[in-house]
Structure 1
């Protein structure tokens, strides 16, 4: 697929494959924001509250030994599907579906065996992730109207398809997403596996010399991500969070600080998908919040 768009001032996208989302999408702009890292941690907290979903993770991977690798693989998947070529995104989705098709988990209480690729589990993981990205972005000051927020959720029927979901069964706007969470809430619980995820996110293993930095930097980020969870998640984990207005102020302050770091510098961090997309499509494809108003 070849594509070209000319922006005001004569800067255009060069010929190339724009991928599944394209630089015109809300997703393209949102996923370039530095608050996505806070949102990703919020997603892990939320995903861990589904007993069957978190059981599949804990029984099929050594989460504590390879947690950083798991986080980077998730970041790489999101970056590839957002900013990569159509072929790269489809291949990434095919790999995920193949791996999931071979994995299962066992309920220790009943002995029941289930696949990790059951639609209800995939849907929970998808919704917890996409809702976290949208929630943290907006609450931290990323400028999105309700219409654009709905567009973002609708666009992610594409990423849902990549992991094996029927796009028509995936919430496509804020009202549908809220209804989904209301429906699934009775199934959620802070199980032993969820507690293990919580403990890891607060105290991830690190080199002894880096423990002070972990306590000063990482713990604050993890606590902010936890605070951004919905109230029912705080109730399940049994740990209070600051008042919502305080959390919003903290998210806005953090977002303002991180956005002061030059984007080119931030995007040098692995896996560099944005820089590769700009090299492929030209400088006009650069993610930027102001483009949403066009």
Structure 2
């Protein structure tokens, strides 16, 4: 992930291929123009079940909107860098700058699984993710303390920031403000999703007021650094998430879109966050960027072909779990469950208690022996979250 949800180290050979291959004959995704929905539905098939939320959930309504595809996601992963420990983990991994497209796709794949995916593969992906996070440990150069991507409070910061940003952008650029009852359901579903991470679900805000209180609680602990500013400015150049094999002319049509959306993201930051991140954008630019960003999402949302094309380009790894939900394809078993029920059913530990022995060995390798952490979880994750 752009954040410690997937802090990836360099895998021998993978980085070289991702950063050095320039294939001018990048092939655009095949997007059928006739009977699109039927053909796409047949391609991805039916989910085993409705996972943890289902078609009547507020999560499906909000997360399936095009505003979550780029804007909500980018808003969350940039704001997250105000946690010094997270920035240290991201910089340590190196993957954001050298495998941006892959990192974006794998992150979206995981979020898509959590929101839309069937319970069995999602429970497995969450279990493997604990092992992936176990290698994101080290010493934060800003605070001098140790960081651990499996730390419950670090995971909570990522989780709340993501769910808040997705909802914020949906309300501002997408479907408008949720009804009070829907919003309460949304935050209840947010707490349910937290059971897939090392978070204590009781710490998850359950209302807009509690979310505001959470950010106020975190504000004194937020800090910027040269590394954080550098990473945020890099991510805000949204075209960096395009496939690296695209030629210059293939990238050209996306540049006006990424420019508008980048300004739209910045327009959503509170002033104190813009100040911390050394970002300057005046009210005049905001006044243009906000309606322009809204208009872009209205166009995308009215065309399934366009939405499907953008998803295919930016995050094809997310399509298998997202498309059946977006198209309303009935699951083989049209039922939902909870993460705790799924973990018990499929034989996985609660994430806070998962792979404790493996995590202890990682600590020993890094902090006692001065070695690089094992990449066992990283390798295993490719089958469940997507290849690197």
Instruction: Please confirm whether the aligned pair reaches a TM-score higher than 0.5, indicating the same fold.
Output: yes
User: Are the structure 2 counterparts of residues 17 and 113 from structure 1 closer, same or farther at C-alpha, using a change threshold of 3 Å?
Assistant: same
1:235-254 Cα shifts (integer Å, max 9, x gaps):
21232334366554344323
Consecutive aligned runs of 4 or more in structure 1 exceeding 6 Å deviation? none
Determine the C-alpha separation between the residues in 2 that align with 1:27 and 1:122.
Answer: 19
Residue 22 of structure 1 aligns to a residue whose secondary structure is coil
Determine the C-alpha separation between the residues in 1 that align with 2:300 and 2:92.
Answer: 36
Determine the C-alpha separation between the residues in 2 that align with 1:61 and 1:160.
Answer: 26
1:209 aligns with 248
Residue 52 of structure 2 aligns to a residue whose secondary structure is coil
1:274 aligns with 322
The one of 297, 317, 323 equivalent to 1:255 is: 297
Q: In the alignment, does 2:269 pair up with 1:229? A: yes
1:196-249 Cα shifts (integer Å, max 9, x gaps):
222312445455615644542222222211211222211212323343665543
Determine the C-alpha separation between the residues in 1 that align with 2:143 and 2:257.
Answer: 41
1:63 aligns with 96
Residue 82 of structure 2 aligns to a residue whose secondary structure is coil
2:139 aligns with 106
2:161 aligns with 128
1:142 aligns with 175
The one of 214, 224, 230 equivalent to 1:196 is: 230
TM-score normalised per structure 1: 0.82
Q: Does structure 2 retain, via aligned residues, the 8 Å contact 1:81–1:92?
A: no
- What are the ranges of 5 or more consecutive residues in structure 2 without an aligned counterpart? 1-45, 336-388
Determine the C-alpha separation between the residues in 1 that align with 2:263 and 2:151.
Answer: 31
Residue 95 of structure 2 aligns to a residue whose secondary structure is coil
The one of 52, 57, 61 equivalent to 1:29 is: 61
Determine the C-alpha separation between the residues in 1 that align with 2:165 and 2:210.
Answer: 15
Residue 114 of structure 1 aligns to a residue whose secondary structure is strand
Aligned length: 270
1:137-176 Cα shifts (integer Å, max 9, x gaps):
0111414213212211210112212121111111111111
- In angstroms, what is the RMSD of aligned CA positions? 2.6
Structure 1 stretch 219-228 or stretch 180-189: which is displaced more?
219-228
Q: In the alignment, does 2:185 pair up with 1:151? A: yes
- What are the ranges of 5 or more consecutive residues in structure 1 without an aligned counterpart? 1-13, 286-294
Q: In the alignment, does 2:259 pair up with 1:219? A: yes
Q: Does structure 2 retain, via aligned residues, the 8 Å contact 1:35–1:137?
A: yes
Structure 1 stretch 118-127 or stretch 250-259: which is displaced more?
250-259
Determine the C-alpha separation between the residues in 2 that align with 1:182 and 1:246.
Answer: 29
1:51-79 Cα shifts (integer Å, max 9, x gaps):
11121122124220012111111110111
Determine the C-alpha separation between the residues in 2 that align with 1:196 and 1:61.
Answer: 13
- Deviation, 1:257, is 2.1
Q: Does structure 2 retain, via aligned residues, the 8 Å contact 1:45–1:226?
A: no
Determine the C-alpha separation between the residues in 2 that align with 1:230 and 1:135.
Answer: 12
